[in-house]
Structure 1
Amino acid sequence: MKYCLRKQAIAAVLLLLLIGLTIPVMASSNVPVTPPGISTLAPISLSPELREKYSEQTKLVKVKATVAADGIIEGDVKVVLSSGDAAFDQAVVEALQKSVFTPAYTGDNQAVACSIILPLNVNVEKYVPEEEVTGETEQTKAGQ
């Protein structure tokens, strides 16, 4: 009985040593990466209806995207936190797909693909409806 317990204790110690040795090895293989950044953000094209609806508001949309080593969005952009309006979210996604990023870099300056989550606060400017242009202006009316 003592022999069996001793054998289990030795096996447990060996297992702990093995786990203890592999964790630092796995941790050292994680090379520090400088995250990607936005180089040029494409304008967000909102329809007149959306601009009027969210006039003078700031809407938060969080998206997850993979920035390729060349600084372009790779694959699909996923909405992690919605603004509450699918059309608004889609306009943000389309703008990100047209944007240019600086890629992520490893410690030895190698550009690599990297997934990021971007919280975007979209400030919708005051909506001013466009006036219809008619053939007559105020000056032509006054001149008559």
Structure 2
Amino acid sequence: MTLIITLATPMLIVQAGDRLLTQNVNGRTQQFDEKSNKSLIYEAFNGLLAISYRGKAFIQGKPTDEWIAEQLNSHLKIPSDGTDLWSLQMATGRPCNLLTCDRVIKVLRESLSSLAKSEFIQTGLTVVITGWKEKKKRIENVLIEITSESPLVS
């Protein structure tokens, strides 16, 4: 289980969590994909966001961090040639292509809501978004949690 710790103050935002993905094999928990990542950083048009998740490691057959990245940039092409991705830059160098912070949150909420409930049969998914956004020439903190709980969780 992942614990995401977020500290948000007017001067500083820190988000920390583990990277380890595990899977249950014959009743034993084993490490899976040692190069996985449960966090992304998204440079928005009007701010900067750290996005972390806990729960479901794969959505629609893709690692959850890659699935999240693809939701935020539909033109993103993640290599399928076995290349190890330690980081992935989505920016094209043109700020007009970036989503606003509010749009990032809306896109992720809508994308998660549109998934079939069968995606969450064994485990839920929580996405934590934190960062800063500029709004009316002021800087505001962002701290949002989006949760799709497993039907088995009570």
Q: Which TM-score band (shorter chain)?
A: under 0.3
Greater strand percent: which structure?
2
Q: TM-score, normalised by structure 1?
A: 0.23
**Bigger Rg, which one:** 1
Q: Select the structure with the greater relative contact order (CA < 8 A; seq sep ≥ 6).
A: 1
Greater helix percent: which structure?
1
Q: TM-score, normalised by structure 2?
A: 0.22
